[in-house]
Chain A
Amino acid sequence: ETGVTQSPTHLIKTRGQQVTLRCSSQSGHNTVSWYQQALGQGPQFIFQYYREEENGRGNFPPRFSGLQFPNYSSELNVNALELDDSALYLCASSLGAGAFNEQFFGPGTRLTVL
């Protein structure tokens, strides 16, 4: 059984650019949640995708958007990057949309915005 994988591991962008982060969910999981983890902080919920539809969204602006594909992998897109977007971006997959379903986290993508 393959766990949650994310790519790339690290990347560096400049302010105003756009970035796409990718996540492959664990086999059999139909739900992907994305979190932003700033240095020294706990993960903050960005949004969740369940069966290719956005199922819920946290307090993030519209320039944060996502997709989920038929194989349940997912992308996080961030437009017009700001310095404060520098963080570790985590995706988590689960079998089902409710928070009671254990979320399995990937290792994250470290984004640095200069």
Chain B
Amino acid sequence: QQQVKQSPQSLIVQKGGISIINCAYENTAFDYFPWYQQFPGKGPALLIAIRPDVSEKKEGRFTISFNKSAKQFSLHIMDSQPGDSATYFCAASTRYDYKLSFGAGTTVTVRA
């Protein structure tokens, strides 16, 4: 049973465009929502994370938007670059938990 549902499965964007990845969850106890970036042959690396006391968090070209009432959160990659081509995973957890529940991943391809 997947606790975090992620879409789309893949997307292609032109250089300079905006990539948007969406995630939805059911467990209202979740209160920590990280995004991970994974390049081929590498393990996932933390990109940015948000807690539900804020609706948006921005770090450079990456922004997380969080909608608590809809139980949804999304990652926006602004001014997408070829180096952003990777698989992105959303995840969720609670402050009392020890594990992360991951979405299925989105493969982003940025065309030059």
Interface of chain A: mostly helix, strand, loop or mixed? loop
A48-B102 in contact (CB<8A): no
Residues of B within 8 A of A35 (CB): 102
B102: contacting residue among A43, A56, A104, CB under 8 A: A43
* Distance to closest chain A CB from B53 (angstroms): 13
For B6, give the chain A residue with the smallest CB separation.
Answer: A42
B43: contacting residue among A40, A55, A108, CB under 8 A: A108
For residue B11, CB closer than 8 A to chain A, the reply is no
B42-A103 in contact (CB<8A): no
A33-B99 in contact (CB<8A): yes
CA distance A63 to B103 in the complex (A): 25
Q: Interface of A with B (CB < 8 Å)?
A: 4, 33, 35, 40-45, 48, 50, 55-56, 58, 90, 92, 97-100, 102-108
List the 6 closest A-B pairs by CB distance, nearest first.
Answer: A105-B43, A42-B102, A99-B93, A45-B99, A56-B98, A48-B98
5 A-B pairs besides A33-B98, A43-B102, A105-B36 with CB distance below 8 A are: A40-B104, A42-B6, A106-B43, A107-B42, A108-B43
